[in-house]
Structure 1
């Protein structure tokens, strides 16, 4: 009799599309479930972006002021005082593009790490695919990045007016900027998935992320060309370290963005780098999504 009752319940649940709580759904169903929540993701993302600065006097203006002030500090220290921009003609453009875009990466990592812990009440109250939360977090950062990108482009353009730098012109390649930003958003979302899963399982990792991102910043050519210093290594070390620095994801995205906005001869448009950027974005997003999905039944319970 108990078996018959269990079978009847399963039949009724299947008839009305009901799913058992706390069980990871199949990957195909999970993807469809996440895609059907896009309106919720968009609203949650924009609401999160708005709430971050609503208690400040300048409000949403800080979405532009923060990366701008950050870039000014690095330009003053590394571009003027230390003069670490070896092999770069336009130091200001190089550093500004690097800091604005890397800030998007860094905030996505930190946002992903907190996307589960900060929404524990929501997770326990409502039934929805948890992948919505990291996606919404990166969407919120993308909404604040858009006006910051306008400021970034203006600074890059004005830097060409300084006598010590070559002029910067608005060319057709500037139209490619939204495409590399879209690939970077895809990459950041994949990383946010991975970090969200890792921190949900091991909360102590959240304390290490800041140090890791600092290491990534200095090793990815954000504020100075790290590949320039490879020439001082032995030939064997150059053959190993050089390609790693050239084709690691952050370096690839920054190279493509700089080749779009500047006309420096040492940063030309390169289809190979575009292919690497697309590859990093797709592989990271897919891998991150699967990694996050595999821990679906644990979120909000650990």
Structure 2
């Protein structure tokens, strides 16, 4: 049966690969879409053996179909990653035809678009070997983008922050403490990680742990982001710290004043915050130039 293929793949991911529920759900959906497309494309029932003759042209046709439905570059890149895993599973380790994800335009540093941030966080979580690690990585990246924390600030958080409220006390540079608002999505991510963490969450101990229970290393977070941005075809300037920059720039673009932004970011001087006015202006200029090719600089 056609439905057995995506279901079997999902079972493999959840049981053999111990991937997170989020990854299993996303990859199963991609597998189901591909099988349905190939069934119509070839005019036949799709068996596991039939997947062995999928060509690069077939996959390009599938991606073109998905792009016609409004799939973005970063989402298409994630879809390619899922397809590779599905075809490898169907071929029992035999790689399918070579298929490159779409190229994402690279250039000078710019804020990461919200859809790219979510795709990055989802891809990092999908690569995790355990559900609790997926929840951990998702929570860390949402803290950087959704609360504007530095990576060191996020990893220094201790169990005493629970139960969570509407705001979070953060200790930044020079041991200066500030209060940042917690968006519901960020709060839910933290609470889910706390529920899944096998080492528990206790006051005085770091929340985010490595696989052996020690404090999570910033280098591990950076490495995961490097891998995810390669999968998605994002610029090498897409770093954990860039998520904090995007938080600031997007708030400024939505009307936040510099003094409030300075407090949220924990900047000692306003001059450190004012850089985002230039970044936002440059971003708007790019939008203008793209919309009006004859516009002069």
Shorter-chain TM range is under 0.3
With normalisation by structure 2, the TM-score equals 0.25
Q: Which has the higher contact order (CA 8 A, sep 6+)?
A: 1
The structure with more helix, counted as a fraction of residues: 1
